[in-house]
Amino acid sequence: MEYAWIVSRDNEVEAVLTCGALRVRPADRLPKAMQGTLLGAVFERLVRMNDGERHAVLRRRIEELLAQWDLDRVECIARAGALRLQPADVAAYAVGTLIGLSDPEAAIPWIRDFAGAIAGGADDEAIARGIAVTKSLLDALPHGMDADDAANMLGLLFQSYAATARLIDNVLTGRSDPPVTVTRRYAAEDVELCKTKIRKGDALAVLLISPRFHFGAGRHACPGREIAETIATAAAAVIAQNLGQIAAQSAPCLPEKSSKLDRVDCERPSSSV
């Protein structure tokens, strides 16, 4: 895809992310490979993929849900996941538990394929893998959700898998890499920003390199920042402790260590969120 503008300076990024004339996707355009599929129906309902009043309604529902999540429980679940899972899978496991998936750990491969299909720039092969797992993920949700809520529970899984693993790595390494490097905007009308003329239909690539924008800005800013940071911090602490034990046990001149992390038991999720 050719971009009319690659946006990188802080003032430009702020202007683009808060501009009402720019949309998160081209008007009424669903990726061709998703058309007529259950994945496509989910994609159309995601708060991340909508603008205007539709976006505002969906976002309020997500914010109300996230406000109910107890951060102590979030931390507990993340620590439990970090004891036995790969770092890249911990956030998906934690969010899967919080939204009430019937078996969050078993669902991780599905979440991985779903996230790969939703990601910007996904090719037809990645989308096909997402199509193949969408029904399984929906069936794993608590019963009784309407279509919008169910779709956006999968949206939370996408966001956690796509971005929070990077946060865990940041905590472990002391870096401050952006959880998401680039986002995109599409002009719904002619507009001028920062002395740059943008024409209706233009595509913009927005670089989220500055720490100021690691969680976005404007109406599409991440609503779950505190939850993501809690998961990342808790998981990284367990991973670092495990790595420290492995290093100590591997040192040839040190006595064998027998200490282990305390088992973390977390309350099982209820049947509803």
Residue 94 lies in a domain: yes
- The 10s digit of each residue's pLDDT in 102-123 is 999 999 999 999 999 999 889 9
Q: Is residue 243 part of a domain?
A: yes
Partner residues linked to 193 by β-bridges: 196
User: What global pTM score does this model have?
Assistant: 0.87
Q: Residue 267: is it exposed, middle or buried by C-beta count within 10 angstroms (0-12/13-18/19+)?
A: exposed
- Residue 112 placed within a domain: yes
Q: What is the pLDDT of residue 230?
A: 97
What CATH number is associated with residue 86?
1.10.630.10
Place of tokens 């279509």: 147
Q: Model confidence over 13-38: pLDDT tens digits? A: 999 999 999 999 887 678 899 999 99
81, 111 Cβ separation under 8 angstroms: no
> What pLDDT is stored for residue 246 in this prediction?
62
Nearest CA among 130, 141, 162 for reference residue 41: 130
Would you say residue 255 lies in a domain? no
Asked if the structure places residue 270 within a domain, the reply is: no
Report the 3 state secondary structure along the chain. CCCCEEECCHHHHHHHHCCCCEECCCCCCCCHHHCCCHHHHHHHHCHHHCCHHHHHHHHHHHHHHHHCCCHHHHHHHHHHHHHHCCHHHHHHHHHHHHCCCCCCCCCHHHHHHHHHHHCCCCCHHHHHHHHHHHHHHHHHCCCCCCHHHHHHHHHHHHHHHHHHHHHHHHHHHCCCCCCCCEEEEEECCCEEECCEEECCCCEEEEECCCHHHCCCCHHHCCCCHHHHHHHHHHHHHHHHHHHHHHHHHHCCCCCCCCCCCCCCCCCCCCCCC
Q: Which pLDDT value is given to residue 242?
A: 86
Per the domain annotation, does 86 fall within a domain? Answer: yes
pLDDT at 269: 42
At 29 the pLDDT is 78
Distance of alpha carbon 65 from alpha carbon 273, whole angstroms: 7
Say how far apart CA 134 and CA 172 lie, in whole Å: 32
Residue 2: predicted pLDDT = 80
Q: At what angle do helices 147-159 and 108-118 cross, to 10 degrees?
A: 90
| pLDDT given for residue 263 in this prediction | 42
Ranges under pLDDT 50 in the chain: 254-264, 267-273
> Is 266 a domain residue?
no
Length of the chain (residues): 273
Cβ-based neighbours of 166, under 8 Å, separated by 6 or more: 177, 178, 179, 180
Range of the domain at 202: 5-250
The reported pLDDT for the residue numbered 258 is 40
Structurally, the chain folds into a number of domains equal to 1
